[in-house]
């Protein structure tokens, strides 16, 4: 029997509004532009963007998840196209062709709630965590051969877990004694047995699962590449809106916008003209109290908005 996995789109109206207006007034001819939904997910943002476009407008979406691509294929709209690919591939779009670009970096509820995807420590399932289940190795496959120092580095860097070393040692010891870990609950229990203290209300395995998911999908590298690509594909005045859900992502976005929101001087050429700034920061938005009450998974979301300059 098929199961329907529900998903509540975070910052739906705020994100789409950031692409089409300054908060009060719609941008001239905004409805005729080309937009990019870099992470289609289950299509909440995409469908609202399409509702705002004229017959001349276009929406290009990307997603690595085959199920998300299958859902997107149900949108019978000539103004819409979906690419089964990582969003860093937007770099192939024509320069200065995009009026607005949205990145929602969160894992969708269908991915988390489906035990077969292996994203959650709450459900028994294969230890997979791949966004794209058609390629690459799963977390379980990686852990079959990864060394203690590799596992430690991943958990410490991507999970900001202070018990990274003991967890890595426990994983390798378990592999040597009883074979590799293959399920989510096995990993969650091992971490719980290793980490004796944790913040109130947080599962001991939270940071480890986050770290392995980010690593196996190269999420931070993809984000860096996509942000760099945005500078090329956005037209002057085009909007960039990025929704992140943890500090590692938000720090990258914040620093990227800050770096390109000021004139850059080449210290090797003290008398050269500075390189003009490429972005103008347009603010930070968090979910309302009402949204957090109705969708607790939105509580950590932060959206940062910037506009492309003419430089």
- Proportion of the chain above pLDDT 90, given as a percent: 81
- Proportion of the chain above pLDDT 70, given as a percent: 94
The reported pLDDT for the residue numbered 198 is 73
Q: Quick one: which of 298, 299, 283, 287 has its CA closest to 240? A: 283
Query: With respect to CATH, is domain 12-109+219-308 assigned 3.40.50.150?
Result: yes
The reported pLDDT for the residue numbered 22 is 81
Query: Average pLDDT for residues 79-85, to the nearest whole number?
Result: 97
Mean pLDDT of the chain: 92
Q: Quick one: which of 142, 192, 197, 198 has its CA closest to 172? A: 142
Whole-structure pTM value? 0.91
Residue 272 pLDDT > 60, yes or no? Answer: no
Which residue is it, tokens 């999908």?
A: 217
Q: Quick one: which of 289, 287, 231 has its CA closest to 261? A: 231
Tell me the DSSP string of 190-238.
Answer: HHHHH-----TT--TTHHHHHHHHHHHTTHHHHHHHHHHHHHHHEEEEE
Q: Quick one: which of 44, 12, 19 has its CA closest to 291? A: 12
Domain borders along the chain are: 12-109+219-308, 133-216
The reported pLDDT for the residue numbered 3 is 47
* 241, β-bridge pairs: 102, 305
The reported pLDDT for the residue numbered 1 is 32
For domain 133-216, which CATH number applies: 3.30.70.2190, 3.90.1150.10, 3.40.50.720, 1.10.150.170? 1.10.150.170
Query: Average pLDDT for residues 128-156, to the nearest whole number?
Result: 97
């Amino acid at each position: 029997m098929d199961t329907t996995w529900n998903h509540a789109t975070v910052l739906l109206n705020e994100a789409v509004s950031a692409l089409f207006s300054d908060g009060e007034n719609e941008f001239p001819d905004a409805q005729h532009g080309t937009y990019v939904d870099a992470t289609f997910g289950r299509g909440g943002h995409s469908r609202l963007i399409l509702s705002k476009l004229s017959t001349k407008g276009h929406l290009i979406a990307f997603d690595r998840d085959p199920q998300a691509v299958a859902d997107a294929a149900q949108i019978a709209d000539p103004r819409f196209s979906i690419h089964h690919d990582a969003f860093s591939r937007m770099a192939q779009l024509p320069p200065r062709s995009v009026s607005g670009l949205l990145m929602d970096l969160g894992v969708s509820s269908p991915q988390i709630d489906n035990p077969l995807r292996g994203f959650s420590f709450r459900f028994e399932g294969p230890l997979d965590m791949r966004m794209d289940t058609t390629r690459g190795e799963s977390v379980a496959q990686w852990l079959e051969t990864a060394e203690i120092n590799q596992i430690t580095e991943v958990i410490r860097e991507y999970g900001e877990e202070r018990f990274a070393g003991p967890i890595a040692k426990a994983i390798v010891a378990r592999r040597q004694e009883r074979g590799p870990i293959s399920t989510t609950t096995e990993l969650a229990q091992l971490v719980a047995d290793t980490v004796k203290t944790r913040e109130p209300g947080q599962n001991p395995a939270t940071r480890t699962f986050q770290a392995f998911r980010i690593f196996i999908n190269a999420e931070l590298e993809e984000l860096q590449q996509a942000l760099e690509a945005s500078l090329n594909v956005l037209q002057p005045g085009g909007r960039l809106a990025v929704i992140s859900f943890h500090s590692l992502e938000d720090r990258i976005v914040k620093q990227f916008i800050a770096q390109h929101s000021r004139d850059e001087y080449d210290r090797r050429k003290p008398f050269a003209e500075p390189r003009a700034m490429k972005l103008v920061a347009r603010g930070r938005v968090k979910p309302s109290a009402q949204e957090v009450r109705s969708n607790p998974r939105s509580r950590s979301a932060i959206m940062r908005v910037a506009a492309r300059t003419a430089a």
